């Protein structure tokens, strides 16, 4: 079988060969949905190749966490969904002979290199929109399959998790995955673990009753529908569609294809009648990625819902739960993940309300808010992105958010838009330069990035960040 991304095949082979030579591997990964799926893909591939390993997670990779990883005494460390931005730190440990690093990442690399480095950016592939960390881990898994003693379908079944990671990393721009991600999707479809269909582009099609599905759909705000329980009920009652079940309202997944088309057409007509612009109405339909081996009507069946479930685990210090679900846990682990998701949704809602109530401070080229201890540092980046659609927050400049990590450190998250990136914004550079000016470090993607700085140095960070954004946007 040809490699799904031939540009990265040689790098994947070199990384796989190094792992097969290792006595024991420490698998270190990030904690978000992309990081968890990256770890699950890599862990499954290592197990199938009969390579002994242990898994650890880090909220952020910095000098201290890399030193802690080195202190564990493994001869080989596999970094997934981070590591590229910390190459300079990792290279020092490699030079000292403390461990051999293997990196499968998609973030902007620091100004250093190591031989075993699998990153789409090194081959001109956009790591922010064309291949996620889980996608890089999948390419590594494919290379391991060609060399290990056991692999189902050459590890192509792992494409489903890679797609969940890409969707969770917000790479489905314009409603679908592009570039190298699309090649991974194609392999998953061929392997029978994925399907892709054009469908209503709203969250919760597998699990939410129809009224809640439409009421909570906020990507395209429709007057009389979005956030309007009575309006939704009135809209649904006027349809000539059987949308009620014996136990209550049907879910989207319970409808026939004809019924789905009828509801979608009526929704579009309603949006037009309420003055929703055509370009926003076009966003009501997108590509849905379905995991064929998961039960119909569960969050794990839909890549978007699966990724949201995963985001709700490690951000509350339960990466072990998210990994267990990715690896097939469907009992206690899945129930615990569902409980965490309920907490996560509540905290996100309260966080956005906090931003709307307290507002943002506008500088020359960016806007910012400091949530202190009011918003968890593990979710402040998500809330920063969500706040760009909130009242009083502009989409014309990036937003920077602070949250207290502990008495000594502050977590910083930056979020932009595709339009700002098109004008030259690169938040990975902004976060790195501003954080280092404030005594910390950072990195990430052009549209979303993060940093950690000493508590009390927020003013220095904002001053330098505003300068860099101004230089980028001219």
Summarised one tens digit per residue, pLDDT across range 38-70 is 999 999 999 999 999 999 999 889 899 999 999
**In a domain? residue 1:** no
What is the pLDDT averaged over residues 239-267? Answer: 91
Domain of 236, in residue numbers:
200-348
Is residue 1 very low, low, confident or very high in pLDDT (cuts 50, 70, 90)? low
pLDDT in tens, 65-99: 999 999 999 999 999 999 999 999 999 999 999 99
- Whether the CB-CB separation of 255 and 233 falls below 8 Å is answered with no
Distance CA 148, CA 184 (A): 21
What's the burial of 254, exposed, middle or buried (CB within 10 Å: 0-12/13-18/19+)? middle
Give, in degrees to the nearest 5, the angle at Cα 15 between 195 and 40.
Answer: 40
At residue 68, the 3 state secondary structure works out as: helix
Geometric angle at alpha carbon 318, from 328 and 135, rounded to 5°? 55
pLDDT of 123 over the 90 cut: yes
* Predicted TM-score (pTM) of this structure: 0.87
201-to-4, 218, 458 alpha-carbon distances in Å: 27, 11, 38
Q: Confidence class of residue 149 from pLDDT cuts 50, 70 and 90? A: low
Q: Which of 321, 348, 375 is the last residue of a domain?
A: 348
Segment 336-355, tens digit of pLDDT = 999 999 999 899 999 999 99
Q: Count up the domains in the chain and report the number.
A: 3
DSSP category for residue 395? S
Greatest pairwise CA separation for the chain in angstroms: 71
Per cent of the chain over pLDDT 70 is: 99
Mean pLDDT value across the chain: 93
Same domain, 299 and 411: no
The total of other beta-carbon atoms located within 10 Å of residue 460's CB is 17
Chosen domain end from 193, 219, 241: 193
Let me know whether 54 and 186 are in one domain.
yes
Asked if 132 and 105 touch (Cβ cutoff 8 Å), the reply is no
Per-residue confidence (pLDDT) for residue 219, from 0 to 100: 77
- Boundary-marking domain end, from 145, 160, 193: 193
pLDDT reported for residue 153: 59
* Residue 180 confidence (pLDDT): 97
Which of the four pLDDT bands, split at 50, 70 and 90, describes residue 150? low
Residue 250 has pLDDT above 80, yes or no: yes
User: CA torsion sign, 427 to 429 to 433 to 439?
Assistant: positive
């Amino acid at each position: 079988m040809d490699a799904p991304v031939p540009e990265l095949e040689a790098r994947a082979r070199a990384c796989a060969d190094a792992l097969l030579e290792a006595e024991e591997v420490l698998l270190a990964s990030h904690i978000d949905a992309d990081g968890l799926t990256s770890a699950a893909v890599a862990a499954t591939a290592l197990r199938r190749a009969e390579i002994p390993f242990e898994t650890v997670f880090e909220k952020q990779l910095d000098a201290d966490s890399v030193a802690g990883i080195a202190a564990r005494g493994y001869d080989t460390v596999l970094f997934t969904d981070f590591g590229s931005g910390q190459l300079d730190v990792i290279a020092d440990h490699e030079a000292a002979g403390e461990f051999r690093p293997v990196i499968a990442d998609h973030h902007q690399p620091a100004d250093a290199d190591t031989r075993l480095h699998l990153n789409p950016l090194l081959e001109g592939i956009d790591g922010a929109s064309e291949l996620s960390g889980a996608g890089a881990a999948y390419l590594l898994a494919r290379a391991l399959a060609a060399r290990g003693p056991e692999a189902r379908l050459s590890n192509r079944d792992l494409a489903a998790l890679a797609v969940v990671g890409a969707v969770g990393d917000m790479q489905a721009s314009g409603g679908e995955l592009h570039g190298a991600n699309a090649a991974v999707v194609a392999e998953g479809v061929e392997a029978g673990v994925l399907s892709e269909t054009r469908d209503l582009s709203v969250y919760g099609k597998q699990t939410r009753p129809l009224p809640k599905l439409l009421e909570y759909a906020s990507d395209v705000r429709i007057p009389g529908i979005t956030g309007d329980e009575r309006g939704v009920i009135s809209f649904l009652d006027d349809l000539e569609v059987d949308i009620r079940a014996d136990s209550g309202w049907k879910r989207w997944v319970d409808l026939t294809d004809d019924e789905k088309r009828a509801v979608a057409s009526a929704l579009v007509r309603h949006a037009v009648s309420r003055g929703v612009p055509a370009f926003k109405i076009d966003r009501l339909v997108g590509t849905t990625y379905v995991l064929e081996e998961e039960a119909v009507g569960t969050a794990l069946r839909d890549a978007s819902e699966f990724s949201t479930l995963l985001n709700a685990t490690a951000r509350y210090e339960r990466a072990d739960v998210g990994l267990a679900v990715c690896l097939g846990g469907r009992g206690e682990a899945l129930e615990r993940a569902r409980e965490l998701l309920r907490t996560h949704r509540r905290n996100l809602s309260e966080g956005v309300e906090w931003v709307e109530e307290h507002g943002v401070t506008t500088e020359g080229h960016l806007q910012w808010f400091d949530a202190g201890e009011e918003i968890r540092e593990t979710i402040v980046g998500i809330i920063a992105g969500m706040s760009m659609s909130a009242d009083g927050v502009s989409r014309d400049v990036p937003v920077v958010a602070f949250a207290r990590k502990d008495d000594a450190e502050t977590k910083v998250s930056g979020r932009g838009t595709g339009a700002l990136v098109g004008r030259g914004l690169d938040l990975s550079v902004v976060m790195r330069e501003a954080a280092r000016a404030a005594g910390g470090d950072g990195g990430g993607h052009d549209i979303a990035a993060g940093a950690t700085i000493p508590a009390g140095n927020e003013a220095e960070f904002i001053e330098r960040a505003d300068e860099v954004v101004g230089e980028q946007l001219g």
